[in-house]
């Protein structure tokens, strides 16, 4: 199992334009260079980064090219002040990154606010997204949650690093189903425990904008869709998966029991297996 330092070392980076800003985007890439099937793109949420997919990407990369970017403001991507980090801006980043990598068709897998990015992207670019997998994704007016709203308060930029780390521990240790893996917790916290990362996390949190998901035309999504959802989540409850199943034309419900919000971590083996089955089924 790869640790977060090794994951970072294996990332590539490129610079893309978002809203007139040239921003560095780090991404983890694995799998065969040549394949008849489109790449599988993994999009994380807040306050995570691409390391969220540490147990999922390797399983899929046996057969498919995989690309897991860090959203701008997150992980090893650009963190400096002065640019928008909303899911509208992240959608623009994803579009620019895929163009930079010369990718015009994808399967899209997303969690949390990455799910909001993916929903927007799939609705606006239906010709590009063959398959869509959403896990405990923000949608409609399901967000932001209190934990994230509090991270976005201006006063959070001034708190002691120890207090910030305590809040993150609460999210990743207490938020785990069962005993949290210390390496996962350490990896999730690592980007935020510097001066730049601390401020960037606050900027990311304050950029959460419910309007960006209430305005989506969910019926415009044509991708075959799997709602691979941790059904015990209290932050993005399963009720929202059921609503998506009604509104997204080609959506299938796939609840995972014994999983809270961090479902790719809580049930990594079951998650990777069901995801692999869906990607294969959808291409036969």
Residue 35's pLDDT is 80
Residue 1's pLDDT is 79
The pLDDT of residue 283 is above 60:
no
Alpha helix positions (H), 70-145: 87-100, 113-124
pLDDT category of residue 282 using cuts at 50, 70 and 90:
low
Residue 236's pLDDT is 98
Arithmetic mean of pLDDT, 132-156: 97
The pLDDT of residue 140 is above 80:
yes
Number of domains in the chain: 1
Please check whether residue 284 lies inside any domain of the structure: no
CB-neighbour burial class of residue 78 (10 A; exposed 0-12, middle 13-18, buried 19+)? buried
Please check whether residue 92 lies inside any domain of the structure: yes
**CATH assignment at residue 255:** 3.40.50.1820
Rounded distance, CA 48 to CA 188, Å? 6
β-pair partners for 67 = 29, 41
Residue 256's pLDDT is 98
Please check whether residue 283 lies inside any domain of the structure: no
Q: Which two tokens stand for residue 218?
A: 């969910």
pLDDT category of residue 281 using cuts at 50, 70 and 90:
confident
Please check whether residue 198 lies inside any domain of the structure: yes
CA-closest candidate to residue 69, choices 123, 142, 135, 15: 15
pTM summary value: 0.98
Quote the domain boundaries for residue 252: 4-278
Please check whether residue 9 lies inside any domain of the structure: yes
Task: Tell me how far apart the 2 most distant CA atoms of the chain are, in Å.
Answer: 53
Arithmetic mean of pLDDT, 58-72: 97
Count other Cβ atoms within 10 Å, centred on residue 199.
18
pLDDT category of residue 127 using cuts at 50, 70 and 90:
very high
Residue 165's pLDDT is 97
Please check whether residue 227 lies inside any domain of the structure: yes
pLDDT cut 70: percent of the chain above it: 99
Phi, psi of 283, deg, nearest 5: -115, 20
The pLDDT of residue 36 is above 90:
no
């Amino acid at each position: 199992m790869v640790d977060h330092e090794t994951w970072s070392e294996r990332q590539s980076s490129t610079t893309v334009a978002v809203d007139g800003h040239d921003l560095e985007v780090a991404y983890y890439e694995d799998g065969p260079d040549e394949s008849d099937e489109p790449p599988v793109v993994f999009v994380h949420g807040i306050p995570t980064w691409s390391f969220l997919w540490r147990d999922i990407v390797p399983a899929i990369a046996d057969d498919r090219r995989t690309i897991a970017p860090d959203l701008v403001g997150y992980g090893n991507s650009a963190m400096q002040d002065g640019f928008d980090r909303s899911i509208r801006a992240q959608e623009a980043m994803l579009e620019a990154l895929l163009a930079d990598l010369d990718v015009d068709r994808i399967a899209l897998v997303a969690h949390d606010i990455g799910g909001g990015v993916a929903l927007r992207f799939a609705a606006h670019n239906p010709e590009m997204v063959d398959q869509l997998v959403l896990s405990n994704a923000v949608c409609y007016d399901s967000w932001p949650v209190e934990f994230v709203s509090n991270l976005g308060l201006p006063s959070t930029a001034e708190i002691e690093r120890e207090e910030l780390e305590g809040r993150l521990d609460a999210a990743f240790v207490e938020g785990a189903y069962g005993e949290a893996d210390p390496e996962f917790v350490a990896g999730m916290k690592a980007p935020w425990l510097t001066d730049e990362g601390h401020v960037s996390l606050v900027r990311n949190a304050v950029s959460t904008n419910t309007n960006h998901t209430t305005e989506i035309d969910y019926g415009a999504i044509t991708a075959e869709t799997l709602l691979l959802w941790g059904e015990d989540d209290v932050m993005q409850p399963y009720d929202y998966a059921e609503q998506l199943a009604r509104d997204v034309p080609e959506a299938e419900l796939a609840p995972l029991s014994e999983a809270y919000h961090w479902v790719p971590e809580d049930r990594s083996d079951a998650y990777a297996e069901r995801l692999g089955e869906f990607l294969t089924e959808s291409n036969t």
